Structure 1
Amino acid sequence: MAQLPAYYELFERYGYGGNGPCWAEHIRYLLAQQAPELLTSQHLFFNEEGDTFYVHADTQATVARFMQVVRPVFGSPAALERYLKQAD
């Protein structure tokens, strides 16, 4: 598994902060596109203060759906870079 500094460096390379709010923004975008039901209910609870990002889920099923959407993009630095190249 890649270390977090590799992710931070990628965010910076593409003009993003790499902090908690940055992660939250990209994750919310992905969820809005692929699993909006997770954002329109009380399934996920975000905490993105400063350099930290946490998300808590209400059930194991919510965790599974969240991971199904997020892992393909954030699962490796290479996948994240492909995503950031096309992000606006």
Structure 2
Amino acid sequence: MSDSQQITAGMHEAKSRLSELVRLALEEDADIVITQRNKPVMRLIPYVELPQNRGFRVLQGKIEISEDFDKTPDDIIDQFYDHPDQ
């Protein structure tokens, strides 16, 4: 927010001017910082809609898992254990 103005308002002032501060944040891209006992505690920013989680159903019908996908081949298992040559 390099081109925006920064506005600092105490908690009581922010409650009294909430509508105005919201308008400034939305329409004028103002950086609104709310303080309590002269320390910043909150920033008033516009709400941004987050993308909706579509879950795994979006992949339904696009992935096929074989029946033996979790079967480890014997030659791989043998590499983990000390087996004498047969």
Q: Is the TM-score greater than 0.5? A: no
TM-score w.r.t. length of structure 1: 0.21
Q: Which has the higher strand share?
A: 2
Q: Which has the higher helix share?
A: 1
Task: Report which structure shows greater RCO (CA 8 Å, sep ≥6).
Answer: 1
